[in-house]
Structure 1
Amino acid sequence: MLDIYLKGFIVTFSLIVAIGAQNAYVLKLGLMRQYVLLAVSLCIIFDFLLISAGVLGLGFFIKGNQLLINSIAVIGIVFLVFYSLLSFKAAFKNESMQIDDQIKTNPLKKVITMLLVFTFLNPHTYLDTVLLIGGIGANISDDLKLYFLLGAISASTVWFTLLGFGARALIPLFKKPITWKILDISIGFIMLLIAYSLIDLIVL
């Protein structure tokens, strides 16, 4: 049982630590100390739902439905390109987020909406959680799947907690506007790279 738990933890942690749209947004919220607990909690819940769906067999359905994969990929490409342009715009027009303990620069509704979009309109989310992690868990015997899921969710909990609350250690660095510019430009390029990688998923 312990080996199954560790397998779920290691597989999940190795896949979710890659910088993506969701991780970058949680990092920003952590730096601004705004709605961090909510963001971390939602990301963990989303991971639990998606990984559980994969372990229970949804991954096989998605993998065999090319039309669905194409649709998710196209939507993801459009969104990621749009968000990358917003990041570049913020960097070059001095619109990057600022650390402010008093003013909530991100309304709660916007934070929840962005987390939903970054999670469920990002095809890489399904690739990592449903197809890869879920696919591995689906091949484990039914009586041990729970331990795999526990390991996977433990990894998600550790990662997002570190990402959201650990970002506070970087706050002094991000007091400088130039650091925000570098982060926004970096995120913009990362989003474009992810969008480009999604082209390979489309089969006409």
Structure 2
Amino acid sequence: MTYGTFTTALAGFGTGLSLIVAIGAQNAFVLRQGVHRQAVLRVVGICAVSDAVLIALGVAGVGAVVTAWPAALTAVGVAGGLFLLGYGVLAAQRALRPATGEGLDARGAATGSARAAVLTALALTWLNPHVYLDTVLLLGSVASDHGTGRWVFGVGAALASLLWFTGLGYGSRLLTGLLSRPKAWRVLDGVVAATMLAMGGMLLAGA
């Protein structure tokens, strides 16, 4: 690998990381799944692969198509906003009225549907218009500035996404001891609820 290739990949890595590290609905969900140790590999895989696909579309120049269809982004924003509000309400209910025995069991696991986790991860990723704006439009635009090295830039951005979601999903297990107490889960669910409701409201307001 030449020095130029390395710096281009590093630029892509830094740009990609700066866009996904911010607290959002997707990150809050991955964190909760990681602490629960439920369908973590599937959720992390969905988030990372989805980002890689969207980044590739942006690098390939699909951003112009997205710009040409503002109505599509509006529809995605409405659907995503409603979904986030619904998920936020459920999280708020868990925070205000936790189920009996809520918390991690002796093995650090929690009950729940892996299928529901997968569908939620897909919805949080593909029903968020900001994902298209950040990855397809913004990253695609920045990548185009690197000319023939735009795909190297894209690989760096995709690698940042993979490492971030892997670290978030599996690193969150360090919180297992803290979240063995039901009160701690109520706090986490409160944060998740606030994040989801705020993001949902913002999407509907901007749609």
| TM-score, normalization by structure 1 | 0.90
Q: Which residue identity lines up with residue 117 of structure 1 in the other structure?
A: A
Kindly provide the CA deviation profile for residues 103-156 of structure 1, in whole angstroms up to 9, marking residues without a partner as x: 652222112111111111122222222222223223431x21221112111111
**Secondary structure of residue in 2 paired with 1:153:** helix
Gaps of 5+ in 1: none
How far apart are residue 201 of structure 1 and its match? 3.5
Which 4+ residue blocks in structure 1 deviate beyond 4 angstroms? none
How far apart are residue 84 of structure 1 and its match? 0.9
Give the count of matched residue pairs: 201
Structure 2: how far apart are the matches of 1:111 and 1:91? Answer: 19
Alpha carbon RMSD of aligned pairs, Å? 1.9
User: Of the candidates 175, 178, 182, which is equivalent to residue 173 of structure 1?
Assistant: 178
Kindly provide the CA deviation profile for residues 41-91 of structure 1, in whole angstroms up to 9, marking residues without a partner as x: 221111100111111112221123221121111111111111111110111
Aligned to 2:49: 45
| TM-score, normalization by structure 2 | 0.89
Q: Does residue 21 in structure 1 map to residue 25 in structure 2?
A: yes
Q: Which residue identity lines up with residue 159 of structure 1 in the other structure?
A: W
C-alpha change, 1:104 and 1:193, in structure 2 (3 Å) is closer
Aligned to 2:119: 113
Say whether the 8 Å CA contact 1:91–1:184 is kept in structure 2.
yes
Structure 2: how far apart are the matches of 1:11 and 1:85? Answer: 33
Select between 109-118 and 131-140 the one with higher mean Cα deviation.
Answer: 131-140
